[in-house]
């Protein structure tokens, strides 16, 4: 069963999605899209946002479109001015030149790089479960000695 998309501005998933959408809605991203011939922006930006939501929550585009249409809180929270139909998204996506799309994405990502600035850097990390070895000094620790410690499992 597919879960519904319930917007919560305190949820870390929606916070990250809003940060991505700020980049997509920014003036420099719009200029890059126009320069690479991806037009009209009034329909391309909602298309890209819908695809991002679909990929991010691992659900169909048609499901995302129905959720956006039925939930005004979701539309307002994710700053959607227009919700495209699913068949229109598929149609427009099939007409986009892959080279132009790749060039656009690379240009936006290169514009975001802060290699020449010092200070705070932001890293986006994958939150899938993985084994992590925090034993930096390579000191061997047995499982029996860990049971005596006051660790929460």
- Looking at the structure of the chain, the number of domains it has is 1
Given this model, what pLDDT does residue 133 score? 56
Q: Is residue 83 part of a domain?
A: yes
Query: Predicted confidence band at 39 (pLDDT cuts at 50, 70, 90)?
Result: confident
pLDDT higher than 90, residue 83:
yes
Q: What number is the average pLDDT over the span 52-65? A: 92
Given this model, what pLDDT does residue 50 score? 94
Q: Is residue 75 part of a domain?
A: yes
| Dist. CA 75–CA 138, nearest whole Å | 50
Please report, for residues 135, 140, 149, the alpha-carbon distance to residue 143 in angstroms, rounded to integers and kept in the order given. 13, 10, 10
| Dist. CA 51–CA 55, nearest whole Å | 6
Q: Is residue 96 part of a domain?
A: yes
pLDDT higher than 90, residue 64:
yes
Q: Is residue 136 part of a domain?
A: no
Q: Enter the tokens of residue 39.
A: 């037009």
Given this model, what pLDDT does residue 32 score? 93
Q: Is the dihedral of CA 106, 11, 44, 64 positive or negative?
A: positive
Instruction: Tell me if residue 83 falls in helix, strand or coil.
Output: coil
Q: Is residue 137 part of a domain?
A: no
Q: What is the pLDDT of residues 96-145, one digit of tens each?
A: 888 898 888 888 888 887 666 566 666 666 666 655 555 556 666 677 77
Q: Enter the tokens of residue 128.
A: 């899938």
126 or 77, higher pLDDT? 77
Reported pTM: 0.70
Domain around 59: 12-112
Q: Is residue 145 part of a domain?
A: no
| Dist. CA 54–CA 56, nearest whole Å | 6
pLDDT higher than 60, residue 65:
yes
130 or 62, higher pLDDT? 62
Q: Is residue 72 part of a domain?
A: yes
Residues contacting 7, CB < 8 A, separation 6+: 14, 71, 73, 74, 77, 78
Q: Is residue 134 part of a domain?
A: no
Q: What number is the average pLDDT over the span 34-40? A: 90
pLDDT higher than 80, residue 77:
yes
């Amino acid at each position: 069963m597919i879960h519904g998309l319930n917007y919560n501005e305190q949820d870390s998933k929606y916070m990250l999605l809003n940060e991505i959408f700020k980049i997509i809605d920014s003036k420099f991203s719009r200029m890059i899209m126009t320069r690479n011939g991806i037009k009209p922006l009034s329909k391309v930006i909602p298309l890209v946002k819908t695809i991002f939501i679909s990929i991010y929550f691992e659900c169909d585009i048609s499901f995302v479109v129905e959720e956006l249409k039925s939930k005004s809180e979701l539309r307002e929270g994710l700053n959607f001015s227009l919700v495209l139909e699913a068949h229109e998204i598929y149609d427009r996506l099939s007409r986009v030149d892959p080279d132009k799309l790749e060039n656009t994405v690379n240009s936006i990502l290169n514009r975001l790089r802060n290699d020449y600035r010092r200070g705070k850097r932001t890293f986006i990390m994958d939150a899938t479960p993985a084994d992590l070895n925090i034993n930096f000094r390579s000191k061997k620790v047995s499982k029996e000695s860990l049971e005596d410690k006051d660790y929460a499992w």
